Amino acid sequence: DAMVIQNPRYQVTQFGKPVTLSCSQTLNHNVMYWYQQKSSQAPKLLFHYYDKDFNNEADTPDNFQSRRPNTSFCFLDIRSPGLGDAAMYLCATSRVTGVGNEQFFGPGTRLTVL
């Protein structure tokens, strides 16, 4: 009864080769988030969707894009991965944004860039 699913769990790509990570949810939540987490660091929010409304964080590099074709799915596209993009990518959902919203995380995709 997984609620937030991420595929693949491990992804290896080459420097500069585009990669897409996927996230799906069975919670029917309005909001989906993508975070980047590097070792011993806090998860860093890249962007989020409230329904179809896309909200980019100011410091998210242009190299990162996202798509949300429907309520259940959200994709993270890394157009030209660099060595510094190796990290765990976490997808999360919440029913709404704002005060009191609890986030539910997927298991993450660990990206390796060669």
Residues lying near another protein in the complex (CB under 8 A) are found at 40-45, 88, 90, 97-108, 110
Tokens read off for 61: 């590099």
Cα 76–Cα 80–Cα 81 angle in degrees, nearest 5:
75
Concatenating the DSSP letter of every residue in 56-103 gives: E-TT--TTEEEE-SSSSEEEEEESS--GGG-EEEEEEEESSSSTTPPP
Q: What's the closest the beta carbon of residue 50 comes to another protein, in angstroms?
A: 11
Residue 39 is given by DSSP the state T
Between 39 and 69, CB nearer to another protein: 39
Q: Which is nearer to another protein, 94 or 113 (CB)?
A: 94
Select 39 or 70, whichever has its Cβ closest to another protein. Answer: 39
| Nearer to another protein among residue 90 and residue 113 (C-beta) | 90
